[in-house]
Amino acid sequence: MEKHSLKEEIESRRTFAIISHPDAGKTTMTEKLLYFGGAIRDAGTVKGKKTGKYATSDWMAIEKQRGISVTSSVMQFDYNDVRINILDTPGHQDFSEDTYRTLMAVDSAVMIIDSAKGIEEQTLKLFKVCRMRGIPIFTFINKLDRQGRTPLELLAELEEVLGIESYPMNWPIGMGKEFYGIYDRYHKRVEQFRVEDQERFLELDETGDIIGDYPIKETSLYQQVLEEVLLLDEAGNEFSEEKIQSGKLTPVFFGSALTNFGVQTFLESYLDFAPAPQPRQSIDGPVEPATEQFSGFIFKIQANMNPAHRDRIAFLRICSGQFERGMNVTLARTEKPIKLSQSTQFLADDRSTVNSAVSGDIIGLYDTGTYQIGDTLFAGKQKIQYERLPQFTPELFVRVTPKNVMKQKSYHKGIQQLVQEGAIQLYRTFRTEDYILGAVGQLQFEVFEHRMKNEYNSDVIMESMGTKIARWIENDKIDESLSSSRSMLVKDRYDNPLFLFENEFALRWFQDKNPAIKLSNPMDDH
* Annotated binding-site positions for GTP: 20-27, 88-92, 142-145
Q: Which of 22, 44, 236, 390 binds ligand G4P (CB under 6 A)?
A: 22
Nearest approach in angstroms of CB 119 to ligand G4P is 14
Interaction residues for ligand G4P, span 234-273 (CB under 6 A): 256-258
DSSP 138-175: EEEEE-TTS----HHHHHHHIIIII--EEEESEEEES-
Please state, as a whole number, how many other Cβ atoms lie within 10 Å of the Cβ of residue 66: 12
Which residue lies nearer to ligand G4P by CB, 50 or 477? 50
Q: Which is nearer to ligand G4P, 92 or 486 (CB)?
A: 92
Comparing CA positions, the residue from 327, 319, 366 lying closest to residue 344 is 366
Among 12, 139, 142, 391, interactor with ligand G4P by CB under 6 A? 142
- # of chain residues touching ligand G4P (CB under 6 A): 18
Exactly one of 12, 15, 20, 71 binds ligand G4P (CB under 6 A); which one?
20
Please state the three-class secondary structure of 416-464 as a single string. HHHHHHCCCEEEEECCCCCEEEEECCHHHHHHHHHHHHHHHCCCEEEEE
User: Residue 17 or residue 488: which is nearer to ligand G4P going by CB?
Assistant: 17
The residues facing 358 across adjacent strands are 322
Smallest gap from Cβ 110 to ligand G4P, in A, equals 12
Stretches 16-24, 183-191, 361-369, 493-501: which one binds ligand G4P (CB under 6 A)? Answer: 16-24
Backbone angles phi, psi at 261, to 5 degrees: -110, 125
Provide, rounded to whole angstroms, the least separation between the CB of residue 145 and ligand G4P. 5
| Least distance in angstroms from the C-beta of 174 to ligand G4P | 14
Name which of residues 28 to 57 contact ligand G4P (CB under 6 A). Answer: 28, 47, 49-50
Shortest distance (Å) from residue 22 CB to ligand G4P: 4
Residue 92 — left, alpha, or beta (φ > 0 → left; ψ -120 to 50 → alpha)? left
Q: What is the C-alpha radius of gyration for the chain, rounded to an integer number of angstroms? A: 25
Residue 79 beta carbon to ligand G4P: minimum distance, rounded to whole angstroms: 20
Nearer to ligand G4P, 12 or 256 (CB): 256
Residue 242 beta carbon to ligand G4P: minimum distance, rounded to whole angstroms? 31
In a 13 Å sphere around the CA of 181, the CA atoms on its Cβ side amount to 22
- How far is residue 76's CA from residue 74's CA, in Å, rounded to a whole number? 7
Binding string, residues 143-182; x marks residues near ligand G4P by CB under 6 A: x-xx------------------------------------
CA 55, 58, 59 angle in degrees (round to 5)? Answer: 170
**Strands 82-87 and 165-168, bridge-based pairing:** unpaired
In the bound state with ligand G4P, the residue whose beta carbon lies nearer, of 123 and 345, is 123
- Beta-ladder partners of 287: 280
Interface segment toward ligand G4P; rule CB under 6 A; list 5-13, 22-30, 194-202, 214-222: 22-30
Phi, psi of 351 (to 5 degrees): -85, 115
Region of 138-146, 187-195, 208-216, 433-441 interacting with ligand G4P (CB under 6 A): 138-146
State residue 516 phi and psi, 5-degree precision.
-75, -15
CB of 320 to ligand G4P, least distance (A): 33
Return the residue of 17, 19, 24, 82 that touches ligand G4P, per CB under 6 A: 24
Which one of the spans 139-147, 176-184, 213-221, 336-344 is the region binding ligand G4P (CB under 6 A)?
Answer: 139-147
CA distance 385 to 363: 18
Q: Show the CA angle centred on residue 219, arms to residues 214 and 220, nearest 5°.
A: 150
Nearest-angstrom CA–CA distance, 307 and 7: 42
Nearer to ligand G4P, 20 or 320 (CB): 20
Is residue 123 classed as helix, strand or coil in its secondary structure?
helix
Of 59, 32, 60, nearest to 44 (Cα)? 32
- Please count the CA atoms within 13 angstroms of the CA of 480 that sit on its side-chain side: 6
User: Residue 51 or 404: which CB sits closer to ligand G4P?
Assistant: 51
Of the candidate spans 18-26, 203-211, 265-273, 382-390, the one that interacts with ligand G4P by CB under 6 A turns out to be 18-26
Distance separating alpha carbons of residues 248 and 218, to the nearest angstrom: 37
Kindly tell me which of 27 and 139 has the beta carbon lying closer to ligand G4P: 27
From the list 25-33, 120-128, 230-238, 486-494, the region that binds ligand G4P by CB under 6 A is 25-33
Based on CB atoms, which residue is closest to ligand G4P, 115 or 359?
Answer: 115
Binding site for ligand G4P (CB under 6 A): 20, 22-28, 47, 49-50, 142-143, 145-146, 256-258
